[in-house]
Amino acid sequence: MPRAKSDKDRKIFVLDTSVILYAHNSIMNFAEHDVVIPITVLEELDQFKKGNDTKNFEAREFIRLLDTLSKDQMIHHWTPLNGKTRGFFKVLMNPENAMNANVIFGEEKNDHKILNAALHLQQTEKNRRVILVSKDINLRLKAKSLDIHAEDYETGKIKNLEELENTGKYVLEGIGQEIINQIYEYNSVEAKHVLGTRKRKANAYYILKSEKNSVLAYYNAEDNTMERVDKKLAYNIKPKNAEQTFAMHAILNPRVKLVSIQGVAGTGKTLLALAGALEQRRDYKQIFLARPIVPLSNKDIGYLPGDIKSKLNPYMEPLWDNLKFIQNQFKESDKEYQKITEMVNQEKLVIQPLAYIRGRSLSNIFFIVDEAQNLTPHEIKTIISRAGENTKIIFTGDIFQIDTPYLDSQSNGLSYLIDRVKDHPLYAHIKLEKGERSELANLANDLL
């Protein structure tokens, strides 16, 4: 189909491989504007299409989507995207330019071929704005050095991180002493006496303060009450501050099926989740504790020596450390100590890379996902969508400590989850603020 070129308001977006591996349907999210896929991107996607990781799924789905959209059209011609309000797309073959990124940067590589595609469009579509879209910061910087407009893929990114930071816990001062006394005496009070006309957020936690004292409370949306929150032991692990107390309450609350815990290293996220899971071991068939594998320097784990178990052990070691810490709260002769060993041996408690668990049925499971900030929004959705009857999922992580190259604090799966699911009656979120690992660890977090 011929492409009308008279509409100067229509931009041309050039998509990098990283965008498609992040969201296979990204091509559909540019409103009325046009989208160009360099042929180099298709070649790279061909290398990603085999495998069980999310990036492999995204690659396969995009290739299928492109096939569906193109129908009987030649994809190097402008082809309409679905819907009257959307623009057109095409695949651009490797062009020859007077200005060649391979020559400028002194190396022939795929990133430079993608830059050449954008340069070609700037030369041939002089009346239109050409924008390279990539989640690769370095590629965006290279593009800008060539006077190519470059942007991150913004769809799904969290706009207001400050609001995200304030989700879950609130401090209310000036509460009447009689209200505080009633909560202490009866363990709850009608929410209207505390919140008044304030917006009520399901499973939100509060520090209520009067002039004399304070109380920790939780908003029970089902009963429309403010309930007192006490520090509870879970497998001999006791919360050390208000935020940890709230997190433990959410972990142990049978009404809440989905919990996210955000906090820097040493705040006790994984420890609390695992202790809470062990405390409720009789209520679930299995406990899964998993984390995504993010190899050092983003190289595949195949670079590491040894068999697959040897390759993966370093990544799982922090999870085993938490389990050992809980176990060492007891003597070796104690039944609680022996129970943990028995659960591991009988695979009632399983610590594995997330890729090994992805795809399994999650019925009657207590599922803890550590380092969830290294997951994409699609991965978070996939995990939750597999939850069956009597399953509880805990996501822990630090949205500011990203180890995956194409994610950031606004686009990672944990941020996406907190933003999209807040206020849902099945969900609770807590941010842990105070490091409790040691004074030395706090020094590192505060001063270094």
Give the span between the Cα atoms of 398 and 418, in whole angstroms: 12
CA-to-CA separations, 428 to 13, 168, 251, 372, in angstroms, rounded: 38, 7, 9, 16
Q: Can you give the residue ranges of every domain in the chain?
A: 7-152, 157-230, 240-447
Give the span between the Cα atoms of 363 and 392, in whole angstroms: 9
Per-residue pLDDT band at 404 (split at 50, 70, 90): confident
Q: Which two tokens stand for residue 271?
A: 């420890």
> What pLDDT, on a 0 to 100 scale, did the predictor assign at position 4?
47
On the question of pLDDT at 17 being above 90, the answer is: yes
Q: Which two tokens stand for residue 96?
A: 């020859």
Longest dimension (CA), the chain: 81
The residue ranking higher by pLDDT, 302 or 146, is 146
Tell me whether residue 42 is exposed, middle or buried, using C-beta atoms within 10 angstroms of its C-beta: 0 to 12, 13 to 18, 19 or more: middle
> What pLDDT, on a 0 to 100 scale, did the predictor assign at position 314?
66
The type of residue at 42 is: L
Instruction: State the number of CA atoms in the 13 A half-sphere of 105 facing the CB.
Output: 18
Which range is least confidently modeled, 177-186, 194-203, 224-233?
194-203
On the question of pLDDT at 66 being above 50, the answer is: yes
The residue ranking higher by pLDDT, 436 or 302, is 436
The 3-state DSSP class for residue 15 equals: strand
Per-residue pLDDT band at 310 (split at 50, 70, 90): low
> What pLDDT, on a 0 to 100 scale, did the predictor assign at position 96?
84
DSSP 65-93: HHHHHHTTS-TTS-EEPSSTT--EEEEEP
Percent of the chain scoring above 70 in pLDDT: 92
Instruction: Give the total residue count for the chain.
Output: 448
Q: Which two tokens stand for residue 188?
A: 């709850």
> What pLDDT, on a 0 to 100 scale, did the predictor assign at position 298?
40
On the question of pLDDT at 436 being above 80, the answer is: no
Read off the pLDDT of each residue in 267-275 and give the average, rounded to a whole number.
94
> What pLDDT, on a 0 to 100 scale, did the predictor assign at position 141?
96
Sequence-distant (≥ 6) Cβ neighbours of residue 244 within 8 angstroms: 267, 268, 272, 432, 436
Residue whose tokens read 């290293």: 265
Tell me whether residue 107 is exposed, middle or buried, using C-beta atoms within 10 angstroms of its C-beta: 0 to 12, 13 to 18, 19 or more: exposed
Quickly count: other Cβ atoms within 10 Å of residue 176's Cβ: 13
Sequence-distant (≥ 6) Cβ neighbours of residue 168 within 8 angstroms: 204, 205, 246, 422, 428, 429, 430, 431
CA-to-CA separations, 292 to 281, 306, 396, in angstroms, rounded: 24, 20, 12
The type of residue at 8 is: K
- Tens of pLDDT, residue by residue over 246-264, are 999 999 999 999 999 999 8
Per-residue pLDDT band at 282 (split at 50, 70, 90): very high
Are 265 and 401 within 8 A, CB to CB?
A: yes
On the question of pLDDT at 200 being above 50, the answer is: yes
CA-to-CA separations, 184 to 86, 140, 189, 217, 250, in angstroms, rounded: 59, 57, 10, 10, 20
CATH architecture of 240-447: 3-Layer(aba) Sandwich (3.40)
Q: Which two tokens stand for residue 344?
A: 């591991």
Read off the pLDDT of each residue in 347-362 and give the average, rounded to a whole number.
81
> What pLDDT, on a 0 to 100 scale, did the predictor assign at position 157?
85
On the question of pLDDT at 85 being above 80, the answer is: no
- The stretches of 204-307 forming alpha helices (DSSP H) are 242-252, 269-279
- Tens of pLDDT, residue by residue over 171-198, are 999 999 999 999 999 999 999 999 988 8
> What pLDDT, on a 0 to 100 scale, did the predictor assign at position 423?
87
Read off the pLDDT of each residue in 407-429 and give the average, rounded to a whole number.
92
> What pLDDT, on a 0 to 100 scale, did the predictor assign at position 360?
75
Give the span between the Cα atoms of 425 and 115, in whole angstroms: 47
> What pLDDT, on a 0 to 100 scale, did the predictor assign at position 303?
43
Read off the pLDDT of each residue in 395-401 and give the average, rounded to a whole number.
94
Instruction: State the number of CA atoms in the 13 A half-sphere of 314 facing the CB.
Output: 10
Give the span between the Cα atoms of 199 and 192, in whole angstroms: 11
On the question of pLDDT at 121 being above 90, the answer is: yes
Q: Which two tokens stand for residue 124?
A: 């041939």
For strands 427-432 and 79-80, give the pairing. Answer: unpaired
> What pLDDT, on a 0 to 100 scale, did the predictor assign at position 398?
94
DSSP state of 141: H
The 3-state DSSP class for residue 193 equals: helix
Name the class of domain 7-152.
Answer: alpha beta
Phi first, then psi, for residue 351 (nearest 5°) are: -115, 115
> What pLDDT, on a 0 to 100 scale, did the predictor assign at position 266?
85
Residue whose tokens read 């011929």: 2
Per-residue pLDDT band at 304 (split at 50, 70, 90): very low
**Sheet with strand 169-172: strands edge to edge:** 169-172, 205-209, 214-220, 225-228, 188-190
Read off the pLDDT of each residue in 325-349 and give the average, rounded to a whole number.
92
The 3-state DSSP class for residue 134 equals: coil
> 7-152 and 240-447 share one CATH topology?
yes
Per-residue pLDDT band at 358 (split at 50, 70, 90): low
The 3-state DSSP class for residue 420 equals: helix
Provide the β-strand partners of residue 219: 226
Name the class of domain 157-230.
Answer: mainly beta
Provide the β-strand partners of residue 367: 288, 393
Q: Which two tokens stand for residue 259?
A: 């919990």
Read off the pLDDT of each residue in 99-126 and give the average, rounded to a whole number.
93
Residue whose tokens read 């399994």: 360
